[in-house]
Structure 1
């Protein structure tokens, strides 16, 4: 059995939940789907971060916090204990209250701005645990990322594609600061006033994807946090070899349907398990490019997955006939493996369902350490922020 005293000595790790992101091509299908991913990532990280805009402007997230915001949806609006306890922390710009952020967004006519009452509610829940970031640092990282991605698009492009991307680059370089909404407005205007050809439409869509990807990375980059990436993000391909593997583990922790229905009380009990504490700390070492205790990591995963499976049985046995039927009918087993990049020697971990069919709602975890270029202008932002930007923080957990 994994003991509490065996925890790896490391500082608490922050993971940014970019699944709570409205600026993406493939939004999450339902509040229940989002709830499953939130619980999944909180289980496997010390601190789960959500951006201030995401906590305010994502209707599905709001539905998970407040039954009033759910608007009659059949969803558990029960994330308040996680926000109030600091299991989920909101990253707030320049130390502002969420009410001030919300009011400023309303003046700028940002999409999906919530009511003042909702902003006040989340403020009360989260202010004591809020994480502060500098908006100028994130703006610089966002703009730098957009420029880098657009420059990559121009390298092999020609014709109307190249012209479109170069026009976008000219616009982006002239914006200080660059707002996502301003770039979206430019895209719409350019599309309307262009030839309307398929090539231009596809090029504008590529610009939008680049903006969304940079927006997703900017805040965790500045905060020195790992990133829980959305399903639409592909990790860079790498030649790897398996170092250690454990198969035939209970698969409940990857079952999105069951996680979406798990009572929050059971979930909070899960976060207190000693095996989960060891697991989180060892995965945190992997995300930061350090070497964990591999035997502890594998044993902690096995112990925790067994606990979660037993907890599902207790939770659903007498209260949720549909969930019980899914649990009883699920005979798939998951695999946990440690792999090594053959070129760099960096270690990673993967948790997946190798025998699952295409229709089941299973999650997947890949924990890797990936570096990103520092944001242009970081040196002028301040010593602390510049140092954080040089950390190897992207990408962390991946749900696929």
Structure 2
């Protein structure tokens, strides 16, 4: 496509979707593969944390042939680690093998064999990404305390008591590990078989606070957008939102989990080299940074990239499997996109989805691209060597099966 390319930083998205510490809607490796490839399409660098890449069995199956054989799936996404499309963020100074050894000492669940850690260390050597573990630990702890405090403000009785006990315990932990919180929660749940319902509510609130804070901490420190499979409804206020642009009639393959779960990775890599895709990522990055994109360029890029994906998916599946080609040809729904604006703040957001044509729309992903401000206060008594994570503007990209 024509047009001036923006000079911008590379768009980083953190794969919070692949998170073993929270409930997931991924039933199979193909489900996760679809989500991973979707996010690769709409980011320059897709980041995943060292713990997540080690301890998420389905992710391991996608990137390691040895792990793939255990699950009976296609483990071809290691190419995306080799070329840096997927990057693993490691704590400063440690290899994945060393992280694995530390987790073994703490008896972290879902650990792989040490050979997998060695394999990934080799794959990611050319594209190192590191983070300050102290800063992430401080962000995690402060997030847990903030979320517990929010619940305390509206709690009473036994619920209040367990939340207050949790807050005191969390405050005394340095560093605070997610696994330690889970052990604390499980200890509460198994201490007495006749736990009052109000106490159960408090314990569950602590569990949820830990999961959400864990999901937010690392991408916040890395300065990355967060890829989330839920929790996107609050990004914009429907009461103050107006539609700026809405178009439909585009190829919906990039929102189709069945097809994305099976598209050859070479086609995906070819897609990331298309100028129209580059323009889309750049304009979405502008939007997620809270600035105003070039809407004409965005629409031109969307139309051109949709045409390219329609042809590429047809070419790929025509040469592979009749079932995929039948699904591709049988789809009657088309992708639509919308650009909305918050009339109070002027902030723009983008939506990609499949319009309500028939019931098969429920088989698709939909996505929200937006910016929101997330406060991340410093943890109490944070070590001077690790300055507090201050409030910043953090963009969120999400996709969720309906």
Q: TM-score scaled to structure 2, two decimals? A: 0.93
Residue matched to 2:152: 154
Higher percent of residues as strand: 2
In structure 2, the residue corresponding to 1:364 is in which secondary structure?
strand
Paired residue secondary structure (1:175): coil
Which residue is 1:251 aligned to?
252
Equivalenced residue count is 395
Which is further off, 353-362 or 330-339? 353-362
> What stretches of structure 1 of length at least 5 have no aligned partner?
none
Aligned counterpart, 1:375: 377
**1:272 aligns to what?**
273
Residue 314 (structure 1) aligns with: 315
Correspondence for 2:199: 200
- CA contact under 8 A between 1:372 and 1:394: conserved in structure 2? no
Q: 2:79 aligns with which of 70, 73, 81?
A: 81
Contact 2:277 2:301 in 1 (8 A): yes
Structure 2: tracts of 5 or more residues without a match: none
1:262-298 Cα distance to aligned partner (Å, 9 max, x none): 0011111111111001011111111111221111112
Structure 1: distance between partners of 2:319 and 2:90: 41
| CA shift digits 1:60-95 (9 cap, x unpaired) | 000001122124434220011100000001101013
Please tell me the root mean square deviation across aligned C-alpha atoms, in Å.
Answer: 1.9
2:367 aligns with: 365
**1:248 Cα deviation from its structure 2 partner:** 1.4
Query: Conserved in 2, the CA contact under 8 Å of 1:42 and 1:48?
Result: yes
Q: 1:279 to 1:107 in 2, by over 3 A?
A: same
Residues 335-354 of structure 1 aligned to structure 2 (within 5 Å) = 335-354=336-355
- How far the C-alpha of 1:380 sits from its partner, in A, is 3.6
In structure 2, relative to structure 1, the CA distance for the partners of 1:107 and 1:233 (3 Å cut) is farther
Does residue 181 in structure 1 map to residue 182 in structure 2? no
CA separation in 2, counterparts of 1:333 and 1:27?
24
Structure 1 match to 2:208? 209
Native 8 Å contact 1:149 1:210 kept in 2: yes
Tell me what 1:292 maps to: 293
Q: How does 1:97-112 map to 2 (within 5 A)?
A: 97-112=95-110
Does the 8 Å contact 1:337/1:350 carry over to 2? yes
Q: 1:223 to 1:381 in 2, by over 3 A?
A: farther
Are 1:369 and 1:392, in contact at CA under 8 Å, matched by a contact in 2? Answer: yes
Distance 1:52 1:94 in 2: 11
Give the aligned partner of residue 131 of structure 1: 129
Q: Displacement, 1:354?
A: 2.1
CA distance in 1, matches of 2:48, 2:368: 20
Please list the CA deviations of residues 174-219 of structure 1 after superposition, one character each: whole Å capped at 9, or x if unmatched: 1111101110111011122254123322332222111101100000
Q: Measure the CA separation in 2 of the matches of 1:316 and 1:76.
A: 16
Residue 119 of structure 2 is matched in structure 1 by 121
Partners of 2:229 and 2:398 within 8 A in 1: no
Equivalent of 1:25 in 9, 23, 26 = 23
Name the SS of the counterpart of 1:128 in structure 2.
coil
Question: Which residue of 1 is the match for residue 304 of structure 2?
Answer: 303
Q: Secondary structure at the residue paired with 2:286?
A: helix
